[in-house]
Structure 1
Amino acid sequence: MKCLRIYATPDGESHFGEVEIPMTAKVTVAPGAKPFQVSKRYLASSMEFTQIPAGMRQVDWHTVPARILTVRLTGAVDYETSDGEVRHVSAGEFVLVEDTHGKGHLSRHSPDEQTVLWIRLPDGLDIPPA
C-alpha cells in the first residue's frame, strides 16, 4: 500500500514522495470471512482528533512539530510544497507529514469544517519496529 509523504531535504525545501507500506500477513477476523492483509505494527507516541473550522481556507507556510500521519476523516485539502507541486487529499486518504524543518508546506482547505486524525509516529512509516 502506498502512502503520500511530505518531507524536507537538508536544504529546507519540501517535496512530495511516497512510502510503500508492505502488506504481507493475512489475518482471519471471523469464520467464513476473507482474510485481511495487514502491515507490521508501527509505534505511535500519541494521537489527536482535530477539527478545522469552516472557512479556514489557506494556512500559510508551516512545518510540523514531529512526524505525523494525518488521516482525513471529512473535508479535503490541497497541499503545496516549496518546489511548487500541489496534491489534493480527500476524506478517507492519509498523508505522512515529515517536513519538521525548512520552508514547510501550504494547506488550502475546503470551506466546510473538517475532522482529521493526527498520529505521531516517532520512527515514521519507513522504519517499522523489529
Structure 2
Amino acid sequence: MKCLRIYATPDGESHFDEVELPTTKRQVHPDAVPFDVTGNYPASRVRITHIPAGMREVAWHTVPEPVLTIRLDGSVEYETSDGEVRHVPAGSFVLVEDTHGKGHLSRHSPDAQTVIWVSLPNGLELPPV
C-alpha cells in the first residue's frame, strides 16, 4: 500500500515521495474474506479538524511532529519548496514529516473539509517484532 509523504531534507527544503507500507492478508472476522492490513504504528494523539469552507491557501508552514492526515471530504493541493505540486482528494492519506525548514503550502478546495490528524512520533517506522 502506498502513502504520499512530505518531508524536509537537512537543508530545510521540502519534497514529496511515496512510502510503501508493508501489509499482510488477515481475516479479521470468521465470515470475512482476508484483506490487506498494515502493521501497528504507535500513535500519541488523534485530532479531528474541520476546515471551514472558503479557506483557500495556508502560507508556508511545517508540522510540529510527524502526522498522518486522513482526508474524509474535500481536497487539498500541497506544494513543496522544490516547486512540486500534488493534488490529494477525499479518501486519501498523507504522511507529513516536514518538521523543520521552509515547509509546504496547502491550497484547500472551496468546500468545508474534515481531516483526521494522527500524531506518529516515529513516522511510519514499524516497531521491531
What range describes the TM-score normalised by the shorter chain of this pair? Answer: over 0.9
Residues 87-107 of structure 1 deviation map (CA, whole Å, 9 limit, x = unaligned) = 000100000000000000000
Residues 28-55 of structure 1 deviation map (CA, whole Å, 9 limit, x = unaligned) = 2333321122111100000000001111
Query: Which residue pairs with 2:35 in the alignment?
Result: 36
Question: Is the aligned partner of 1:77 residue 2:76?
Answer: yes
| Amino acid paired to 2:2 | K
Once the two structures are TM-superposed, the CA of residue 77 in structure 1 deviates from its matched residue by 0.3
- Tell me the TM-score normalized by structure 1: 0.95
Give the match's secondary structure for 2:23. coil
Structure 2: runs of 5+ lacking an equivalent: none
| Amino acid paired to 1:20 | E
Residues 36-81 of structure 1 deviation map (CA, whole Å, 9 limit, x = unaligned) = 2211110000000000111100001000010000000010000000
Q: How does 1:77-116 map to 2 (within 5 A)?
A: 77-116=76-115
Query: Which residue pairs with 2:126 in the alignment?
Result: 128
- Tell me the TM-score normalized by structure 2: 0.96
Once superposed, what is the RMSD of the aligned Cα atoms?
A: 0.9
Query: Which residue pairs with 1:23 in the alignment?
Result: 23
Percent of counterpart pairs with the same letter? 71
Query: Which residue pairs with 2:53 in the alignment?
Result: 54
Question: Is the aligned partner of 1:64 residue 2:95?
Answer: no
Query: Which residue pairs with 2:118 in the alignment?
Result: 119
| Amino acid paired to 1:123 | N
Give the match's secondary structure for 1:51. strand
For 1:56 and 1:100, locate their aligned partners in 2 and report how far apart those are by CA, in whole Å. 23
Once the two structures are TM-superposed, the CA of residue 16 in structure 1 deviates from its matched residue by 0.2
